Copies of this chain bind each other. A is one copy, B any other.
Amino acid sequence: MSRRIVPLLNRIIIQKAEIPNKTAGGILLPETKDKDTQVGTVIAAGPGAMFENGRTRETIVRQGQSVLLPSYSGQEVDIDNEKFYIYKDTEILAILE
């Protein structure tokens, strides 16, 4: 990816894991064609959320983390022929350690 993409607010950019039979970490993805993989890696994380009361908070996931994604939601974007997905950090279900 030649250009640097800086997500705004508490958004994060996710690269979804390929749908192998079994990932290195042992997470078996179902081969159901329509089922989208629910695992991805955080490629970039925005600065954080801003609230009406003036408060801000940092994004709750960090670049490099492996995360569990909700089945629906997530904006698809194509960059340099690669598909990425943009979520808000509050949509992410869990971190896979």
Contacts and interface: CB of A to CB of B under 8 A. Distances in A.
Interface in A25-80: 25-30, 38, 44, 46, 50-55, 57, 60-61, 68, 70-71, 75-80
Interface string A79-97: 1110000100110111111
Interface residues of A, number: 48
A26 B2 contact: yes
Total copies of this chain within the assembly: 7
Given A53-B55, A93-B8, A76 B71 contact: yes
Most interface-central of A4, A61, A89 (chain B CB within 10 A): A4
A44 B95 CA distance: 12
A4 B86 CA distance: 24
